[in-house]
Amino acid sequence: MLPDQILADFAEEIGISNSALGYYVRGEREPSYDFLKRLRLARGVDINWLITGDGNSDAKPVTSSKVPNQVTIPRYAIHASAGGGAVVLSEEVEDYFTVSPNWLARYLPKGARAGIIEARGDSMEPTIADGDILILNFSIDSSAVNDGGVFVISVDGVLLVKRLQVTVDGHILIRSDNDLYEQEKVTREFADERITVHAKVVWSGGPIRRR
């Protein structure tokens, strides 16, 4: 959850009580129209996106003037499979991580939309292990795929973490870092029709594991 000081500052900013904001954050009460209107004015949140999931999810990050040099990154209630595949079930925020903007700037360009999800499976080992936390850059375009890297993609509704590489003949290699998994080569037409590139993985981490 967000640190208490940030929640208190945010409640003060939009003009509601700490307890009311706490109810909304914990999912114990449905947000009122007045709260949604205040949220839109304060943070530029698209109310239609909040209610229906359609529209623009971009908004100013929640920060605290009393906790300087901190940025919060949403952690989404979904898992990307570094293995056989996981069906995309939810994009709701279940938690937040608080980091230094200077640290985050090492991995994301200024103004990029960041998010956090958890990886499942072993297909990307040793780069990404089962249960690792992934920091994602959602502010990417087609040129990011041309440059290669590790991405969160969905293929026919299945969410995956894979390494993408564009070949000289214009095809796309979908690769796993674990040699036990075979790579796949697909055409641009197949990729355009059936693959969605959601974000680029810019950082991964997890607990120390035994050798």
**Per-residue pLDDT tens digits of the chain, which is 211 residues long:** 455 666 777 777 777 777 877 777 777 777 777 777 777 666 666 666 566 555 555 555 555 444 556 787 888 877 776 655 544 444 567 777 888 888 999 999 888 888 899 898 999 999 999 989 999 999 998 888 999 999 999 888 788 999 999 999 889 999 999 999 999 999 989 988 889 899 999 999 987 766 5
| CA angle (36, 29, 57) in 5-degree steps | 40
Same domain for 158 and 132? yes
Same domain for 184 and 129? yes
Which helix (H) or strand (E) segment holds residue 184: the answer is strand 184-186
Q: Which of 68, 98, 120 is the last residue of a domain?
A: 68
Reference 134, options 191, 76, 183, 50; nearest CA is 76
- Asked if residue 9 is part of any domain, the answer here is yes
Q: Which of 48, 68, 88 is the last residue of a domain?
A: 68
| CA angle (186, 170, 137) in 5-degree steps | 75
What gap in Å lies between CA 120 and CA 100, rounded to an integer? 27
- Asked if residue 211 is part of any domain, the answer here is no
Residue written as token pair 């990729």: 191
Same domain for 116 and 52? no
Phi, psi of 93 (to 5 degrees): -80, 130
How many domains are contained in the chain?
A: 2
What gap in Å lies between CA 123 and CA 128, rounded to an integer? 8
Token pair of 14 as six digits: 């939009």
| pTM > 0.95: yes or no | no
Q: Tell me the β-bridge partners of 151.
A: 162, 200
Give the CATH number, domain containing residue 45.
1.10.260.40
**Radius of gyration in angstroms for the set of CA atoms belonging to the chain, rounded to a whole number:** 19
